Structure 1
Amino acid sequence: MPIGRLEHTNISVTDPDRSAALLIDLLGWEERWRGESKMGGRSIHVGEKHDYIALYTGDHVTGDFAKGNPLNHVAFTVDDLDAAEKVVTFYGLKPFGHDDYEPGRRFYFFDWDGIEFEVVSYE
């Protein structure tokens, strides 16, 4: 049986530079690539060696996405949940839904475009 892993996710955002800065500060990631998209518009890829998030924008990307159409949220694990929450609030975003259940403590936040993120710590 093959073994797989998520290689990347491509998310439309209104300001890839702003979203990239948040993810780099929140997760300790690096910018892997930026440039023009083959489909028009432009993208910034942020992540690690084997996985990343592509932050795409084009003239048709207006933001104000509705939760669950079709994406419910994107979740990340961090080693320091309190430090992660400080990064989120530094960017003017509002953490909510704090909880502690298996497999770890967590909170959620919406970005500027209405995309929901979950941040979890197993520590």
Structure 2
Amino acid sequence: MARLEHVNITVPDAQATAAFLTRLLDWHVRWEGNSLNGGYSVHVGETDSYLALYSPKSSVASAVPRYANSAGLNHVGIVVDDLDAVEARVRDLGFETHNHADYEPGRRFYFDGPDAVEYEMVCYD
């Protein structure tokens, strides 16, 4: 058996992205501190899985366009229990949702977060 424990992504401000995700998803910060090459990392998520958010000491380069860069991050998919409630929270935080889809085995929508990362929220009813 294998399971995904974490994904490490570069964001402009790891602490700001972690704060956003804790507000949106009720996640918690598991660890944070200085990391590779003078950067800063925050691990945010649940007990057994998380996102490792890394901000380098220097500014980050754009990863746009998505789906066109080798080893690029296209989006982060997160399973939620109540898709409608999470979408309301996303909108309350000032973000537009797009690409809604209802298909087997679940429903989903996407939004661009405050960190140039696209997030997919999915619910398996």
Q: Same fold (TM over 0.5)?
A: yes
* Residues 21, 58 of structure 1: alpha-carbon distance in 2 compared, 3 angstrom cutoff: same
- Is 1:37 the counterpart of 2:35? The answer is yes
SS of match in other structure, 1:39: helix
* Counterpart for residue 90 of structure 1: 92
* Residues 56, 77 of structure 1: alpha-carbon distance in 2 compared, 3 angstrom cutoff: same
Gaps of 5+ in 2: none
CA RMSD of aligned residues (A): 1.6
* Counterpart for residue 27 of structure 1: 25
Q: How big is the shift at 1:29? A: 1.3
**Which deviates more from structure 2 when the two are superposed, residues 104-113 or residues 75-84?**
104-113
CA–CA distance in 2 between the matches of 1:89 and 1:63?
27
Q: How big is the shift at 1:28? A: 2.1
CA–CA distance in 2 between the matches of 1:28 and 1:112?
17
SS of match in other structure, 2:36: coil
The 8 Å contact of residues 44 and 56 in structure 1, kept in 2 or not, is answered as yes
Q: Supply the AA of the counterpart residue of 1:9.
A: V
Aligned structure 1 segments of 4 or more residues deviating by more than 3 angstroms: none
Q: Supply the AA of the counterpart residue of 2:42.
A: I
SS of match in other structure, 2:38: coil
Gaps of 5+ in 1: none
